[in-house]
Chain A
Amino acid sequence: MEVRDLNFTYPDGTLALEDVSMDVHAGEIVAIIGPNGAGKTTLLLHLNGTLRGNGVVKICGRRVEEYDVKELVKKVGLVFQDPDDQLFMPTLYDDIAFGPINLGLDEQEVRRRVEEVLSEFRLFEYRDKCPHHLSYGERKKAALAAVLAMKPEILALDEPTANLDPKSVRELITAIKKINEEGVTVIISTHNLEILPQIADRIYLMNKTVLAEGESDKILADVSLLERAGLL
């Protein structure tokens, strides 16, 4: 993934991104950190073409504008912060099947993928439940499972650990690492600094624009930098 000089202003005039440039190489886990309102979510929404700003966003060497919507969705899987935004079908099974069906896969393949992620995330017993009957942690897992069932090459997670208890956070980190080992590039937006050393190969620190980039130990050790970014 490659982002060059990306600018984005919301219709109400709020500047969200200013000359953002960023590179994520295949197979990496990269974290984007920054305070609330730093534009992290806005940036992620550019990766699958949901928002279109001024500048260049390239996925696998091609600009997002050149992709057909479905092709792009196959490349970049985006997990939203609030699972209630994502799980909308009457049962969990149907919700996870939604993405694969849209990719035009045949019924057998859809069922295979749904059952695979359901058992991987230990959600199988909830398959016929409606999303609003699941706990927040389960819904969060389900939202991730639903995106993984589409087998994206790049997985972008918006605040994956927000509101989760420590056990769920640990499970999530394990899951993300496993996904990454299977060859998926991972981009995480977060302000949970504790998890970064365990998970991120590199960090981008941003507040509207990119303030710093580097290995997680180096960035996290620089307290004055984090303070200047408004994060600490």
Chain B
Amino acid sequence: MKKLLLALATTTAVIGFAAAAGAQEKAKICFVYVGSKTDGGWTQAHDIGRQQVEKELGDKVETQFLENVPEGPDAERAIERLARSGCGLIFTTSFGFMDATVKIAQKFPDVKFEHATGYKTAPNVATYNSRFYEGRYIQGQIAAKMSQKGVAGYIASFPIPEVVMGINSFVIGARSVNPDFKIKVVWANTWFDPGKEADAAKALIDQGVDILTQHTDTTAPMQVAAERGIKAFGQASDMIAAGPQTQLTAIVDTWGAYYVKRAQAFLDGKWETTSSWDGLKDGILTMAPYTNMPDDVKAMAEATEAKIKSGELKPFTGPLNKQDGAAWLKEGESSDDATLLGMNFYVEGVDDKLPQ
């Protein structure tokens, strides 16, 4: 009923505006979230981006969002509802919304869509992603410097390319500092289960790792690391509050600048479909302050970050072998993006069997 009233009100408003010649209509920018906007991680980062759009573009835009939208058929309905309610530009912020986005986009050719972390585009569907792996390379280097035992623990979620890419990048970074560095990987098979993530962290620490990194969503592993007195890296947002003496740094998702840029292009009528994959240099991810480490390690991390930003250093650059020792990249050769986005193999040095 509320929705209906809202729709009626909008329609009336549009007619009203049309009557008053020259009055400008606000552009409506909409967001679909897979989680809660206060999840302290992935979705919250997107919502901060949405708020930035509101702040920077002021009264030229109006934003709207739907949270806790499950991936699957429900997503289609949610996206369609937004498209019908007059959204001009819709961001769908989870990998699992890919097919739903493309399908609804065919129905609404005049509405623009942007899908996060996917690979299917259309004339009115753009994709955008972030090179999280650049941050993981830096983390790997820090881990290799900070670890006494030369073994880090890695709590992974699901064996999808994004996660495998992160593990590889971490290991390549670590072995650029200490060629004998090892990691132990535990697959939690969930993005979100504080208890299980904590159990995985305990298991890894009990087996002797003294640095912890995670690709799951809650701060539980950070808490366990703090309790056991080892160091750890945060994920998706700055987790320093969960481990003031524990967090070395964190990869922080900062989508705001991208959202503002695309919304502005939309307002100017210059929006075009793109496949954007920005990195540290574009500010789509940032590193949380380097803390709890000696100055020389911090200096190294900052130097690496600067080199990645300038393009001097690309984490996936040869000579690199695959896990079984087969050659992958030659000296000086860098991996193309397509290989990274479909990554289904480990590089040399990962001491784990990739679940297929």
Are A and B co-members of a single complex?
no
